[in-house]
Amino acid sequence: MEEKSYAMLCDFYELTMGNGYFKNGFYRKKTYFDVFFRSVPDNGGFAIAAGLEQIIDYIKNLRFTEEDIAFLRGKQLFDQGFLEYLKSFRFSGDIYAVPEGTPIFPGEPILTVAAPAVEAQLIETFVLLTLNHQSLIATKANRIVRAAQGRTVLEFGSRRAQGADGAILGARAAYIAGCAGTACTISDKKYGVKAGGTMAHSWVQMFDTEYEAFKTYCEIYPHDTVLLVDTYNVLKSGVPNAIRAFKEVLLPKGITNFGIRLDSGDMTYLSKKAREMLDEAGLSNCKIVASNSLDEYIIRDLLLQGARIDTFGVGERLITSKSEPVFGGVYKLCAVEQEDGTLIPKIKISENTSKITNPHFKKVYRLFEKSSGKAIADQLCVYDEEIDESKPLVLFDPEATWKRKRITDFTAKELLVPIFREGKLVYRTPGIEEIKTYCSQQVHTLWDEVKRFENPHRYYVDLSQKLWDIKHRLLEEHEERS
């Protein structure tokens, strides 16, 4: 990725607050902020974390240019000392995050920033927009991939994405979550997301006959050829002409890896009929690709109806997460460090109980059942706590405090890993294939009940007793003050 600074890609109040922190001396005060989200898109059982690599690049290249400083000076709002401070600005704090591809749940930190107040405040916008966007698309893509039940899913949405980054990084997120490739060429160049494609209707229309269009394409691109058969009439001309081209051009060369694509019409009916015609022609190896406004529910219904589709090309409803286009990640202060190193937990209180935050600098543990390897629950702990796997652990449901769950014979894995320490990158950024494999493995650790599309089992995200006590002490102190 080319070096680029997005220092000015921040909400303006982050700069005015930073200026205020500088003037009152808070800018050196170490603060702790959590990124978490409150609900899973599409009422699903879990989400997929994505976007960490871009945050790493952002932090590494974060600096204010002379043009940036001149622009801010022109606002006549900012202290000259603050502007001088920004000239040599570099991130010097710590960042902890869950690895990309990790299944994540509401209420738990997926990234924590521990840094001087100005630094922590200034990076909020970019951190949120990056995690929110890619986690949203990864979550949607994983739903679609699971609906396909092992069939190939390709991301076809670039032309319907919200802007260039929406297309490029959306393709990256979709690939991490299980898509086999993309139509977006630049995502292949920049991130190694495998790019490919078939043809447009215009290719077929350019020739005098449909057969000539197919024959020419087979001659130019004999390997992995996929012919678009719905420009005129799928069953009367499209499939017959494709069969003829395959038999006359590809089979004599010993090539048997090819397919047809359906982009309109009744996909169940057309795919069944096309399959019959291909099989009767001795082309049982020929794959059938379907595209056109697909999502997880349509794919599920097509397969329930017996559609004979091998590959799904999914566009606008994936790349925009059309059914729920916002991932509600937030960035909240959870602790402030005093000069003597003591951490003071902070809490945001709201009449809307779902918006009351979990205070303090925290760890997140994922608990796995030893016998099955399946994830049982996540527990949020204070940063200095350790879970003892040799002792039974009692979990409670924070939304139903009477409900308890006692677990034994489990393993505990800490989810948040160090990314930056004192401004230095300490994390080995994995390649995209490694992230993709990790994502698949981690989703496999979830029970099927959590992966249901409708009414999924709600996964436990628990607070340790110590954290629970701290939270309730802060709530009681607030009540006493008010």
The parent domain of residue 265 ranges over 198-292
DSSP string, 314-379: E-HHHHT-TTS----EEEEEEEEE-TTS-EEE-----SSGGGPPPPSSEEEEEEEETTT--EEEEE
Residues 255 and 333 both lie in one domain: no
- Point out the domain boundary residue: 292, 320, 340: 292
Are residues 247 and 341 located together in one domain of the fold? Answer: no
Same domain assignment for residues 404 and 477:
yes
Dig out the tokens for 353 from the structure.
């109980």
**Cα distances (angstroms) measured from residue 37 to each of 83, 335, 474:** 33, 18, 22
In eight-state DSSP terms, residue 271 is H
Does 218 share its domain with 286? yes
- For residue 319, is it within any domain? no
What's the CATH code of the domain at 261? 3.20.20.70
Q: What value does the mean pLDDT of the chain take?
A: 95
Q: What is the mean pLDDT of residues 280-297?
A: 96
Domain-embedded: residue 149: no
Answer whether residue 165 is part of any domain: no
**d(Cα 245, Cα 250) in Å, to the nearest integer?**
7
The pair of three-digit structure tokens given for residue 398, joined into one six-digit string: 């924070």
Q: Are residues 33 and 118 in the same domain?
A: yes
Q: What is the pLDDT of residue 399?
A: 60
118 with 262, same domain?
Answer: no
Q: Within this chain, do residues 398 and 281 fall inside the same structural domain, yes or no?
A: no
Q: Are 103 and 220 within one domain?
A: no
| 1 pLDDT more than 50 | no
- Residue 8 predicted with pLDDT over 90: yes
- 163 occurs within a structural domain: no
Query: In whole angstroms, what is the distance from residue 15 CA to residue 21 CA?
Result: 10
Q: What is the mean pLDDT of residues 374-383?
A: 96
- The arithmetic mean of pLDDT across residues 118-138, rounded, is 97
Above 70 in pLDDT, residue 347? yes
How far does Cα 453 stand from its chain's mean position?
17
Strand, helix or coil at 237?
helix
Taking the CA atoms of residue 49, residue 52, residue 54 and residue 57 in that order, the dihedral angle to the nearest 10 degrees is: 180
Q: What is the mean pLDDT of residues 451-465?
A: 94
Asked if residue 391 belongs to a domain, the reply is yes
Q: What is the pLDDT of residue 232?
A: 97
Asked if residue 265 and residue 405 are part of one domain, the reply reads: no
The last residue of one of the domains, among 243, 275, 292, is 292
Shared domain for 401 and 475, answered yes or no, is yes
> Which CATH number do you get for residue 57?
3.20.140.10
Last residue of one domain, picked from the residues 292, 316, 343? 292
Query: Does the pLDDT at position 115 exceed 50?
Result: yes
Q: Does the residue 379 lie in any domain? A: yes
Provide the sign of the torsion angle of the four alpha carbons 96, 100, 105, 106, taken in this order: positive
Q: Do 105 and 246 reside in the same domain of the chain?
A: no
**Which of 124-128, 251-255, 339-343 comes out lowest in average pLDDT?**
339-343
At 400 the pLDDT is 56
∠ at Cα 68 (65, 71), nearest 5°? 150
How high is the pLDDT of residue 3? 54
Residue 303 burial (C-beta neighbours within 10 Å; 0-12, 13-18, 19+): middle
Domains identified in the chain, total number: 2
Any domain includes 361: yes
- Read off the DSSP letter of residue 226: E
Q: Do 351 and 246 sit in the same domain of this protein? A: no
pLDDT at position 2 is 46
256-271: average pLDDT: 97
Report the pLDDT averaged over residues 284-301: 96
The tens digit of pLDDT for each residue in 294-322 reads: 999 999 999 999 999 999 999 999 999 99
Residue 152's pLDDT is: 97
**How far is residue 394 CA from its own chain's centroid?**
31
Q: What is the model's pLDDT at position 444? A: 98
- 197, pLDDT greater than 50: yes
Domain assignment present for 310: no
Distance, C-alpha 399 to centroid of its chain: 26
